Amino acid sequence: MQRESVAVVTGSSSGNGFETSLLLAKNGFYTYATMRNLDKSTRMKEVTKKDSLQLEVLQLDVTDDKSVTDAIDMISNRHGRIDVLVNNAGYDHNGAVEELSMEKVKTQFETNFFGAVRLMKAVIPIMRKQRSGIIVNLSSIGGLVGVPLNSAYVGSKFALEGFSESMKYELEGFGIKVILIEPGAIKTNFVENSKQAQKAMNPDSPYAEFSKKGI
Protein backbone atom coordinates (compact mmCIF):
# COMPACT_ATOMS: atom_id res chain seq x y z
CA MET A 1 0.00 0.00 0.00
CA GLN A 2 1.46 3.33 -1.08
CA ARG A 3 1.91 5.93 1.64
CA GLU A 4 0.43 9.38 1.11
CA SER A 5 2.92 12.19 0.51
CA VAL A 6 3.08 14.82 3.24
CA ALA A 7 3.96 18.50 2.80
CA VAL A 8 4.61 21.25 5.35
CA VAL A 9 4.46 24.93 4.39
CA THR A 10 5.37 27.81 6.72
CA GLY A 11 3.89 31.30 6.57
CA SER A 12 0.66 30.05 4.98
CA SER A 13 -1.75 32.73 6.16
CA SER A 14 -1.37 34.74 2.95
CA GLY A 15 0.61 35.30 -0.24
CA ASN A 16 2.99 32.67 -1.57
CA GLY A 17 2.52 30.38 1.43
CA PHE A 18 -1.26 30.42 1.07
CA GLU A 19 -1.18 29.61 -2.63
CA THR A 20 1.58 27.01 -2.28
CA SER A 21 -0.34 25.15 0.43
CA LEU A 22 -3.45 24.98 -1.74
CA LEU A 23 -1.48 23.93 -4.81
CA LEU A 24 0.19 21.06 -2.96
CA ALA A 25 -3.13 19.91 -1.49
CA LYS A 26 -4.79 20.03 -4.90
CA ASN A 27 -1.98 17.87 -6.29
CA GLY A 28 -2.39 15.01 -3.85
CA PHE A 29 -0.22 16.01 -0.90
CA TYR A 30 -1.60 15.82 2.61
CA THR A 31 -0.67 19.40 3.43
CA TYR A 32 -0.03 21.19 6.69
CA ALA A 33 -0.51 24.91 6.16
CA THR A 34 1.30 26.35 9.15
CA MET A 35 1.10 29.88 10.48
CA ARG A 36 2.00 31.81 13.61
CA ASN A 37 -1.40 33.41 14.08
CA LEU A 38 -4.37 31.08 13.65
CA ASP A 39 -6.71 34.10 13.63
CA LYS A 40 -5.60 34.50 10.01
CA SER A 41 -6.68 30.99 9.00
CA THR A 42 -10.34 31.66 8.18
CA ARG A 43 -9.92 32.00 4.41
CA MET A 44 -7.68 28.93 4.19
CA LYS A 45 -10.22 26.82 6.08
CA GLU A 46 -13.06 28.06 3.84
CA VAL A 47 -11.21 27.07 0.65
CA THR A 48 -10.19 23.73 2.15
CA LYS A 49 -13.79 22.89 3.04
CA LYS A 50 -15.19 24.13 -0.27
CA ASP A 51 -12.72 22.10 -2.36
CA SER A 52 -12.61 19.08 0.01
CA LEU A 53 -8.83 19.26 0.28
CA GLN A 54 -6.56 17.13 2.43
CA LEU A 55 -5.19 20.18 4.21
CA GLU A 56 -4.88 21.06 7.88
CA VAL A 57 -4.06 24.42 9.36
CA LEU A 58 -1.48 24.10 12.12
CA GLN A 59 -0.05 26.69 14.50
CA LEU A 60 3.72 27.03 14.13
CA ASP A 61 5.96 29.95 15.06
CA VAL A 62 9.25 29.61 13.18
CA THR A 63 11.03 31.73 15.80
CA ASP A 64 10.15 29.35 18.65
CA ASP A 65 12.10 26.11 19.10
CA LYS A 66 9.31 24.32 20.99
CA SER A 67 6.64 25.38 18.54
CA VAL A 68 8.68 23.96 15.65
CA THR A 69 9.54 20.73 17.46
CA ASP A 70 5.98 20.13 18.66
CA ALA A 71 4.50 20.65 15.18
CA ILE A 72 7.02 18.50 13.31
CA ASP A 73 6.87 15.72 15.94
CA MET A 74 3.09 15.67 15.69
CA ILE A 75 3.16 15.40 11.89
CA SER A 76 5.89 12.76 11.91
CA ASN A 77 4.16 10.66 14.57
CA ARG A 78 0.88 10.81 12.67
CA HIS A 79 2.18 10.03 9.18
CA GLY A 80 5.59 8.46 9.74
CA ARG A 81 7.11 10.73 7.09
CA ILE A 82 7.48 14.25 5.70
CA ASP A 83 8.13 14.52 1.96
CA VAL A 84 8.20 18.25 1.30
CA LEU A 85 9.09 21.25 3.44
CA VAL A 86 8.50 24.73 2.04
CA ASN A 87 10.23 27.43 4.10
CA ASN A 88 8.17 30.45 3.11
CA ALA A 89 7.70 32.40 6.37
CA GLY A 90 9.37 35.80 6.24
CA TYR A 91 8.90 39.55 6.15
CA ASP A 92 10.78 42.69 5.16
CA HIS A 93 11.99 45.39 7.54
CA ASN A 94 12.94 48.49 5.57
CA GLY A 95 15.39 51.06 6.83
CA ALA A 96 19.01 52.18 6.70
CA VAL A 97 21.34 50.12 8.88
CA GLU A 98 22.27 53.22 10.88
CA GLU A 99 18.63 53.73 11.82
CA LEU A 100 17.74 50.11 12.59
CA SER A 101 18.25 48.91 16.13
CA MET A 102 20.26 45.74 16.63
CA GLU A 103 17.09 44.17 17.98
CA LYS A 104 15.27 44.86 14.69
CA VAL A 105 18.12 43.38 12.65
CA LYS A 106 18.22 40.28 14.86
CA THR A 107 14.44 39.88 14.63
CA GLN A 108 14.64 40.06 10.83
CA PHE A 109 17.21 37.25 10.76
CA GLU A 110 15.33 35.28 13.42
CA THR A 111 12.36 34.86 11.11
CA ASN A 112 13.85 34.90 7.61
CA PHE A 113 17.01 32.89 8.27
CA PHE A 114 17.02 31.11 11.62
CA GLY A 115 13.33 30.23 11.23
CA ALA A 116 14.16 28.27 8.08
CA VAL A 117 17.15 26.67 9.79
CA ARG A 118 14.95 25.49 12.69
CA LEU A 119 12.53 23.79 10.33
CA MET A 120 15.30 22.17 8.31
CA LYS A 121 17.00 20.80 11.41
CA ALA A 122 13.66 19.36 12.52
CA VAL A 123 12.80 17.60 9.24
CA ILE A 124 16.23 16.45 8.02
CA PRO A 125 16.46 13.45 10.39
CA ILE A 126 13.01 12.32 9.20
CA MET A 127 13.88 12.72 5.52
CA ARG A 128 17.31 11.12 5.99
CA LYS A 129 15.71 8.08 7.59
CA GLN A 130 13.23 7.67 4.73
CA ARG A 131 16.04 8.37 2.20
CA SER A 132 13.99 10.97 0.36
CA GLY A 133 12.59 14.47 0.67
CA ILE A 134 12.49 17.93 -0.84
CA ILE A 135 13.31 21.15 1.01
CA VAL A 136 12.23 24.34 -0.75
CA ASN A 137 13.63 27.60 0.61
CA LEU A 138 11.99 30.85 -0.48
CA SER A 139 14.72 33.40 -0.96
CA SER A 140 14.27 36.49 -3.12
CA ILE A 141 15.85 38.49 -5.90
CA GLY A 142 17.12 40.32 -2.82
CA GLY A 143 19.23 37.24 -2.14
CA LEU A 144 21.20 38.03 -5.28
CA VAL A 145 21.31 41.82 -5.48
CA GLY A 146 21.77 44.44 -2.76
CA VAL A 147 19.08 47.09 -2.35
CA PRO A 148 19.45 50.38 -0.40
CA LEU A 149 17.35 50.70 2.76
CA ASN A 150 16.84 46.94 2.69
CA SER A 151 20.11 45.67 4.14
CA ALA A 152 18.61 43.58 6.95
CA TYR A 153 16.19 41.78 4.65
CA VAL A 154 18.73 41.32 1.86
CA GLY A 155 21.33 40.11 4.37
CA SER A 156 18.93 37.48 5.70
CA LYS A 157 18.26 36.22 2.18
CA PHE A 158 21.95 36.17 1.22
CA ALA A 159 22.53 34.05 4.33
CA LEU A 160 19.76 31.65 3.32
CA GLU A 161 21.26 31.36 -0.17
CA GLY A 162 24.70 30.30 1.07
CA PHE A 163 23.24 28.00 3.70
CA SER A 164 21.00 26.28 1.15
CA GLU A 165 23.75 25.83 -1.42
CA SER A 166 26.13 24.27 1.11
CA MET A 167 23.41 22.07 2.56
CA LYS A 168 22.51 20.76 -0.88
CA TYR A 169 25.87 18.96 -1.03
CA GLU A 170 25.51 17.63 2.52
CA LEU A 171 22.14 16.05 1.86
CA GLU A 172 22.14 14.82 -1.73
CA GLY A 173 23.72 11.50 -0.70
CA PHE A 174 20.67 10.83 1.48
CA GLY A 175 18.20 11.38 -1.35
CA ILE A 176 17.20 14.83 -0.07
CA LYS A 177 16.93 17.67 -2.58
CA VAL A 178 17.35 21.33 -1.59
CA ILE A 179 15.66 23.83 -3.91
CA LEU A 180 16.13 27.59 -3.71
CA ILE A 181 13.55 29.92 -5.24
CA GLU A 182 14.40 33.58 -5.88
CA PRO A 183 11.16 35.37 -6.84
CA GLY A 184 11.07 38.97 -7.93
CA ALA A 185 8.04 41.21 -7.48
CA ILE A 186 4.86 39.20 -7.00
CA LYS A 187 1.43 40.70 -6.41
CA THR A 188 0.84 39.60 -2.80
CA ASN A 189 0.38 41.48 0.49
CA PHE A 190 4.14 41.23 1.18
CA VAL A 191 4.63 44.98 0.86
CA GLU A 192 1.67 45.71 3.14
CA ASN A 193 3.20 43.41 5.75
CA SER A 194 6.62 45.07 5.53
CA LYS A 195 7.87 47.10 8.47
CA GLN A 196 9.48 50.52 8.19
CA ALA A 197 12.17 51.93 10.46
CA GLN A 198 10.53 54.86 12.23
CA LYS A 199 13.59 57.10 12.00
CA ALA A 200 13.56 56.83 8.22
CA MET A 201 10.11 58.45 8.22
CA ASN A 202 11.53 61.52 9.96
CA PRO A 203 12.11 64.35 7.43
CA ASP A 204 15.33 65.19 9.31
CA SER A 205 16.75 61.73 8.62
CA PRO A 206 19.81 61.74 6.31
CA TYR A 207 18.02 58.91 4.47
CA ALA A 208 14.70 60.73 4.07
CA GLU A 209 15.18 61.28 0.33
CA PHE A 210 15.80 57.58 -0.22
CA SER A 211 12.65 56.74 1.75
CA LYS A 212 10.58 59.30 -0.15
CA LYS A 213 11.61 57.84 -3.50
CA GLY A 214 10.85 54.32 -2.30
CA ILE A 215 14.29 53.14 -3.38
B/e letters for 163-197, b = 16+ CB within 10 Å, e = fewer, are bbeebeeebeeeebebebbeeeeeeeebeeeebeb
DSSP-derived secondary structure letter, 2: P
**Region 122-149 average pLDDT:** 94
Cβ atoms of 80 and 4 within 8 Å: the answer is: no
CATH code for 6-213? 3.40.50.720
What is the Cα–Cα distance from 12 to 38, expressed in whole angstroms? 10
Cβ pair 122, 69 in contact under 8 A: yes
Q: What is the pLDDT of residues 83-119, one digit of tens each?
A: 999 999 999 988 899 999 999 999 999 999 999 999 9
Kindly give the residue spans of alpha helices, DSSP state H, lying in the chain. 15-26, 42-50, 65-79, 102-109, 115-130, 151-171, 208-213
Spatial separation of the C-alpha atoms in residues 186 and 192, rounded to whole Å: 12
Q: What is the identity of the amino acid at 27?
A: N
Say if residue 1's pLDDT is above 50.
Answer: no
How confident is the model over 119-147, as a mean pLDDT?
A: 95
pLDDT of residue 190: 45
What is the pTM for the complete model shown?
0.87
| DSSP code for 87 | E
- Please report which confidence band the pLDDT of residue 143 belongs to, taking 50, 70 and 90 as the band edges: confident
Tell me which residue of 5, 4, 18 sits closest to 190, measured CA to CA.
18
Report the alpha-carbon angle 59-65-182, nearest 5.
75
So what's the pLDDT on residue 78? 97
Residue spans per domain, the chain: 6-213
Looking at every residue in the chain, the average pLDDT score rounds to 90
Dihedral angle computed from the Cα positions of residues 129, 134, 139 and 141, in that order, rounded to the nearest 10 degrees: 150
In this predicted structure, the answer to whether residue 211 has a pLDDT above a threshold of 60 is no
pLDDT at 213 exceeding the cut of 70: no
Catalytic residue among 30, 32, 153, 207: 153
pLDDT above 70: percentage of residues in the chain: 85
What is the three-class DSSP state of 70? Answer: helix
Counting residues of the chain whose pLDDT is more than 90, the rounded percentage is 77
- Do residues 9 and 62 touch, judged by C-beta distance below 8 A? no
pLDDT for the residue 147: 86
Q: pLDDT confidence of 215, banded at 50, 70, 90?
A: very low
Q: Is 32 a catalytic residue?
A: no
**Distance from C-alpha of 39 to C-alpha of 83, rounded to nearest angstrom:** 27
Those residues whose C-beta lies under 8 Å from the C-beta of residue 152, and which sit 6 or more positions away, are 93, 95, 97, 100, 104, 105, 108, 109
Contact 119, 161 (CB under 8 A): no
51-75 per-position pLDDT tens digit: 999 999 999 999 999 999 999 999 9
pLDDT digits (tens, 9 = 90+) for 15-28: 999 999 999 999 99
pLDDT for the residue numbered 207: 62
